């Protein structure tokens, strides 16, 4: 019995002392595909499709860590630079329309390294 307690104690210490690696697991192609239904609104305004807000919500729920949030920010920044005719007013109105919060403007000049866990995101 004492041996079992010792083994449990050693395992517990190993778990507590083990390094934790947190990596962004959200790929830009995933973010782009989730937000693809938003492109017409981003360029032309008008009505936001439900599938667009569904994609925004999905990205929000996927971005849980600082690394995830910074990665999504970088993806949005890259996408903003690739969408010909993007109206930044529409891009920055989208989170509010979809009833989510994003702590920075969607822009090609956003500093994504400032995005943190505590920030309300999407």
Full-model pTM:
0.72
DSSP-based three-state secondary structure for 65 = coil
- Written as tens digits, the pLDDT of the chain (122 aa) is 554 433 333 333 343 444 444 455 789 999 999 999 999 999 999 999 999 999 999 998 888 888 999 999 999 999 988 999 999 999 999 999 999 988 778 888 889 998 876 544 44
For the CA atoms of 90, 95, 96, 99, the dihedral, rounded to the nearest 10 degrees, stands at 140
Give the integer Cα–Cα distance in Å for 54 and 18.
Answer: 37
Give the integer Cα–Cα distance in Å for 57 and 73.
Answer: 15
- Percentages helix, strand, coil for the chain (3-state, rounded to 5) are 60, 0, 40
């Amino acid at each position: 019995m004492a041996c079992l307690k010792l083994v449990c104690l050693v395992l517990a210490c190993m778990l507590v002392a083990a390094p934790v690696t947190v990596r962004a697991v959200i790929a830009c192609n995933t973010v782009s595909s989730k937000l693809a239904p938003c492109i017409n609104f981003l360029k032309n305004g008008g009505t936001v499709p439900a599938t667009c807000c569904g994609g925004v919500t999905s990205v929000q729920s996927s971005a849980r860590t600082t690394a995830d949030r910074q990665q999504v920010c970088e993806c949005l920044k890259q996408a903003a630079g690739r969408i010909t005719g993007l109206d930044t007013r529409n891009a920055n109105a989208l989170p509010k329309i979809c009833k989510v919060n994003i702590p920075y403007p969607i822009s090609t000049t956003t500093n994504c390294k400032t995005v943190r866990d505590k920030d309300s995101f999407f």
